[in-house]
Amino acid sequence: MAKETKDYSKYFDFSDAKVLSEDEFGKKIRIKGREIHIISEPNHRQSKKRRKEDVQVLYENAVPEELQGIGAGKHYIVYTFGCQMNEHDSETIKGMLEMMGYTATEDRKEADIILLNTCAIRENAEDKVFGELGHLKHLKTEKPDMLLGVCGCMSQEEGVVNRIMQKHGFVDMIFGTHNIHRLPMLIKEALFSKEMVVEVWSKEGDIIENLPKKREGLRAWVNIMYGCDKFCTYCIVPFTRGKERSRRPEDVIAEVRDLARQGFKEVTLLGQNVNAYGKDFDDIRYTFADLMDDIRKIDIPRVRFTTSHPRDFDDHLVEVLGKGGNLVEHIHLPVQSGNNEILKIMGRKYTREIYLELVRKLKETVPGLVLTTDIIVGFPGETEEQFEDTLSLVREVGFDSAYTFIYSPREGTPAAVMEDNVSMEVKSERLQRLNRTIEEYSRKSHENLRGQIVEVLVEGESKNNASILAGRTRTSKLVHFEGSKELIGSFVNVKITDAMTWYIKGEVVDVPQAEAAITQ
C-alpha cells in the first residue's frame, strides 16, 4: 500500500501566532508561549529564481574576537544526516564551535549545544530528524539551558521550518545552508534572548572563504562549488543549495596544497555537480578539467571527486582523468534510469545512448576504471518495460556498486505533483531485483581481484573485529586484512585472497612499491 502523503498545509496555519514587533531586523512572534525571532525565513518562490546577482567571494573572520570564548568549558555535539556536502558543512560548523571555545563530546547529557545538520533528499531522512527531535525534547526538558539547533537542507524548506515553529517550540535555532558562517552570531542571539532564532537565507548565497574546519582522519573533503542549476524534476537540491557558484581556482588549489602539507593522504573534491565547475566564471576560461589537471601536480597521494552529472562530463575531463597519477580510477556517475522516456520526465537531459557512449570513452581512457552510480526505481509512470531498460543498462555498464532508492516525492519539486502511480509493492519488488543485479556485478568484480596485489590506505580497525584492519583501494573498495595497528594511516600492498559481495579480504605482502603489480 502506498504511503500516505503528508499534509504540509497544517503547518502554515499561524492563526494562533501573535506578532510582537517587526522592524528591519526581522519580526518577533509568539506561538504557544514561545517567542520566536524570525530574522529571515525560507521562501520557495525566491529559492526557485536564478537571478543575475554577482556572487561575492568574502574572506572574513568567521568568529569575531568577542565570541571566541563564549563556549569555554562547554561541550557540543553535531549530528550529520545526508551526503558528503553535509559532512563537510559539519566540519565547518565544528571548526567554528571550537574557535568559540566549545569542546566535542559524545555524551548528550554533557552537551551544552546539539545541532542536527539535516538532509532533504528523501522523506525518510526528514522522518529521522523529526524522530531525533522527539528524543531530544526530554533532554531539553531536563536541561533547559542547552541550545538545540536544526540546520542544513531541511531548514531551507518552508514546510519544515513552519512545522518546527508550530510543533517543536523547544528548538532554539534554525539556520540554512547559505548562512552557516553566521552560526556564532545566532548562538549569541539564542543564548542571550532565550528566543527561538530563525535565519534562513533564500538568496543565492555568497562564497565564504577562510572558515575554520575540524577535519579528522586521513581523508579531507574540499568544496569546489556550491549549488545546482540542473533542476531534475525529483530533486530539491537546487532549491536548498541555490544556484551553481564556483570557488576561485587559486583558493581551491591553496586549500589542497595546505592539506598536502598537513599530511592528508586523500582529498575528495565536492560539489552538487562538480563537473559544472567554472561554468559560472565570466572573467576566465577555467573548467573542472583544468582544475583536475592542476591538482594532479600537487603532492597528495589520492584525489577523488563527487558527484558528477553525465551531461557536463566533457572530452577534456575524460582526457585529464586518463593521465592517472593521483587521480584515482573510480568515478561515481549517477544515471538514475536506463530508459529514455523516464530520463526525459526526470529532466536529466541526456539519453541512455549518450550515457553509454560516455562510459565507453571513460573505460577506453582510464585503465582499470570502476564505475558506481545512483538509481531511482518506481518514478511516476515507470512501466515494467522501462524498469527492464534500467536493469539492462546496469548489466551493460557492469557497475561495481550503486546507491539505489525507491522514488519518494519531495514537496516543491515538479515530480511531486505527478501521479505517483507505481504501487509501493511494485517499487519494493523492483528495488530488490535491481539490488540483486548490482550485487551480482559487485561480486564478479571482487572475484576478478582474487590473487592480485592492490594498494590499500589503512583507515583503522574493522568495525566488527578489532584484530582486523580495514582500508580502501584507489577504486574505493573496502579491504579487510590482519595487521599491526601501526599500519593505520599508511599505504600497504595487500594480496586479495577472498571476495565477498561488499568487501574483499586479503593479506599484507611486502612488495617494493616500484615492483608491485598494483592494480585497483
Say if CB 242 and CB 205 are below 8 A apart.
Answer: yes
Do the annotations mark residue 228 as ligand-binding?
Answer: yes
Query: Which grid coordinates belong to 43?
Result: 521562501
Omega prior to 404 cis, within 30 of 0: no
Residue 507 bridge partners (DSSP): 482, 495
Q: Give the distance, in angstroms, between the CA of residue 480 and the centroid of all CA atoms in the same chain.
A: 26
| 3 state SS for 390-410 | HHHHHHHHCCCEEEEEECCCC
Q: Which residues in 254-273 are b (16+ Cβ under 10 Å) and which e?
A: ebbeebbeeebbbbbbbbbb
Per the annotation, does 232 bind a ligand? yes
Q: How far apart are the first and last CA of the chain?
A: 44
Q: How many Cβ atoms sit within 10 Å of the Cβ of residue 280?
A: 14
The answer on whether 151 is annotated among ligand-binding residues is no
Residue closest to 83 by CA, chosen among 190, 206, 235: 235
DSSP string spanning 473-507? -TT--EEEEE--GGGTTSEEEEEEEEE-SS-EEEE
Binding-site entries: 83, 119, 153, 228, 232, 235
Binding-site entries for [4Fe-4S] cluster: 83, 119, 153, 228, 232, 235
